[in-house]
Amino acid sequence: MDELGLKGARVGGARVSAEHGNFIVNDGTATARDVLELVDIVKAKAKVERGIELQTEVKIVGEE
């Protein structure tokens, strides 16, 4: 994700790791909604800027 300039991108308490752009970090205050919104931002930017359709590697369960 470094090439997309997303390291450090943040939604609420969730942010893309500055060290490892493939990780989302919770600063202790992130909600599930924060994480899911950030995932959507990362996916959208990868699609627009690189034509890459990222797939979520974890199963998301529950409700927002």
Kindly state the average pLDDT of the residues 19-47.
Answer: 93
> Alpha helices, DSSP H only, in the chain?
32-50
Kindly state the average pLDDT of the residues 35-53.
Answer: 93
User: Given this model, what pLDDT does residue 44 score?
Assistant: 94
Calculate the alpha carbon distances from 27 to 34, 48, 50, 54, 63 in Å: 11, 28, 29, 24, 21
Q: What are φ and ψ of residue 16, in 5° steps?
A: -75, 130
pLDDT tens-digit map of 5-26: 888 899 999 999 999 888 999 9
**Local structure of residue 15 (DSSP, 8 states):** E
Q: Cβ-count burial of 31 within 10 angstroms (0-12 exposed, 13-18 middle, 19+ buried)?
A: middle
User: Given this model, what pLDDT does residue 21 score?
Assistant: 80
For all residues of the chain together, what is the average pLDDT? 89
